[in-house]
Structures are given as C-alpha cells and as structure tokens.
Amino acid sequence: MIMSKLLKPIIITAIAVIIGYVYFSSSKPAQNIQNVPLAPEEEHEDVKADLNGDGVQETLRLSYTNTVDDLSVTSLVALDKNGKEIGRLPASMPIPVPFSNSGVVWSPFTDNPRQFVSFNFIVGPHSSETMFFALQDEVRSVLPVCLTDQVKSEQDCYFWSGQADELVVEDLDNDGNLEVIETVDEYPKNGPLAKDALDATNEAFKDLGQDALDGAIRVLKRESGGRGNKVIWEIYQFNGNYFEKQTGKNFDKYYELAKNYIETTYSTHPTVMRKSAMSQDSLEYNVFMRKYWTRR
C-alpha cells in the first residue's frame, strides 16, 4: 500500500525511534586503555587547542576502536607540541564515542588563554548531549567541566539539547564569561498514531520489554502531535570552575538575551518560550524523553 503524505512523517519517526533505541540497547560499555599505542584497528580524531594556557596549541586526541560489534572510546589524551602525553581521561570515567568531528574549541576564561573542548553525543533519534573537557595540570588528567562542583554522576556533566547540535554556547552579555543555553521542543499534545507505525514499533520492540515498548509508543504519539514552541530549558554561566545554573533575576536577564539570540540566529525564527510557561504535561514529557533515551 502506498503511504499518504500525511503518514510518511509518522513512519519515518517510527523508524528513527526504533533505530535509536536498538543502538543504545545493544551498545557495550566504553572502556579506556591506559598507555597503549594506537593499534591499526583504532581510529582517532585530533582537536588543536591551548589546553594549558601557555600560548601554544596542544592536541586533544580522541581514540576509539571500531569493529563490527563494538564502538568504544579507548582514550582521550592531551599531547604537547612534541607529542608527549600531558594528561588523560581516567579509565574510571568512560565516555561513548561522540559525533564524528564534533570537537569544538572554547575560550571560557576572561583573563586566561586556557581553552576547553566540547564533544556532542547522540541521544535517541534527534537529540544530543554535550560535554566539555579541560586539562587539569595538577593531576595530569583530562576531565569534564560540569554543571556543579559537587559531581555525583556523569549526569552532572552533560548538557541537553532537544534537537541535535542546537546547544547555545555564547557570551550573551559580552562580559567575558560563556553562557550555555539548553533548549527543547514544547511537544504540546499527543497526535494520532497510524496503524502501520504502531505495527512496526510493536514488531521492533517485542523482545525489548513492555517498558521499552510503552516508552516508544509514547514518543511516537507525542512527536506526531508536533514540536510546538522552542523552550529555553536551563541557562548556565561559567564561573571559573564550573557552569553555574542561573536562577531568579539572573535567569530572567539571560532569558531575554538567549531568546533574542535564538530568534535572530535560526533561519526558522522559532517562537521561544520559558520552561515555566510549559504545561505540566509537556514538561513531564521532556523529562521522560531524556531519561528514556539516556537510561539515566
């Protein structure tokens, strides 16, 4: 049977959801290997940045194995201009393999040339998370720059983007300090779920458990209802040690700046709203969606 124009987006979404979930359900935990030279089967990506603030660019090298049944990070290593190791991501802090060539260099300090490097990680069919990394000279380590100085889990170091690669990282008020703006889509209501999409989802998730199936169906229904407005979810500012969440009057200040930036930067000119203006149902759905894809 030929799909109608109305049905096509729903089926495409169903396929994307299925692919995303199967990928994360089958992926193996990442492992770090200390002090082992790159083997022929390993691949790596290099990002040039002034990691220690000495005025000279170092190399942050992301190395990973890439085989038929495994894709995992083996090391995230900082190298000086002579190729000597000066820091490494600890083996106790494994990360998944990020988007290819997603490394971006940032200058977060007002009076220091030291730079960070961020990488983006896939989360579900169209969302992403971002983590910033810095060289810590005193412990010869490459460590995440997190959302708090009281880090309890990896969740405290990931920034969320409801649409892949839409995390806003800017010095919005030109005071020399970076702000990070998390955005999501509103998803104001459920939409109709076509029988073809439901059948395809039931077939793909039949061996993954009822919770996984129920979650996939919830995602499909919500996405078929439309994305709605763009929501400014959270706002953070780098305070010299970590990205500090902005609340109260500080949030209001940066909200207006972020709203103007998003409305004038993105070609779609989205209607922007506050997280506090969302319905409870939309807010709960976005919280659910992130937990569903990240399993955290």
Classify residue 261: in a domain, yes or no: yes
Classify residue 127: in a domain, yes or no: yes
Classify residue 16: in a domain, yes or no: no
- Its pTM stands at 0.82
Can you give the pLDDT at residue 251?
96
Measured in residues, the chain has a length of 296
Can you give the pLDDT at residue 25?
38
pLDDT profile of the chain (296 residues), mean per 10: 33 40 37 39 87 95 72 83 94 85 91 93 90 92 93 90 91 93 96 90 89 92 93 96 96 96 84 96 96 85
Supply 136's token pair: 């810590």
Can you give the pLDDT at residue 2?
28
DSSP state of 4: P
Question: Residue 81: phi, psi to the nearest 5?
Answer: -65, -20
Classify residue 23: in a domain, yes or no: no
Count: domains in the chain: 1
In contact, 231 and 182? CB cutoff 8 Å: no
Distances (CA, A) of 120 to 56, 183, 252: 25, 15, 27
Supply 235's token pair: 């706002």
Can you give the pLDDT at residue 52?
94
Classify residue 146: in a domain, yes or no: yes
> How many Cβ atoms sit within 10 Å of the Cβ of residue 252?
12
Classify residue 109: in a domain, yes or no: yes
Can you give the pLDDT at residue 30?
35
**What region, left, alpha or beta, does residue 197 occupy, with left being phi > 0 and alpha being psi -120 to 50 degrees?**
alpha
Classify residue 45: in a domain, yes or no: yes
Which of 155, 176, 172, 159 lies closest to 107 in space, CA to CA? 176
- 50: containing domain: 28-95+99-188+226-294
- CA end-to-end distance (rounded Å), the chain: 40
Q: For 84, how many CA atoms within 13 A lie in the half-sphere containing its CB?
A: 3
Classify residue 15: in a domain, yes or no: no
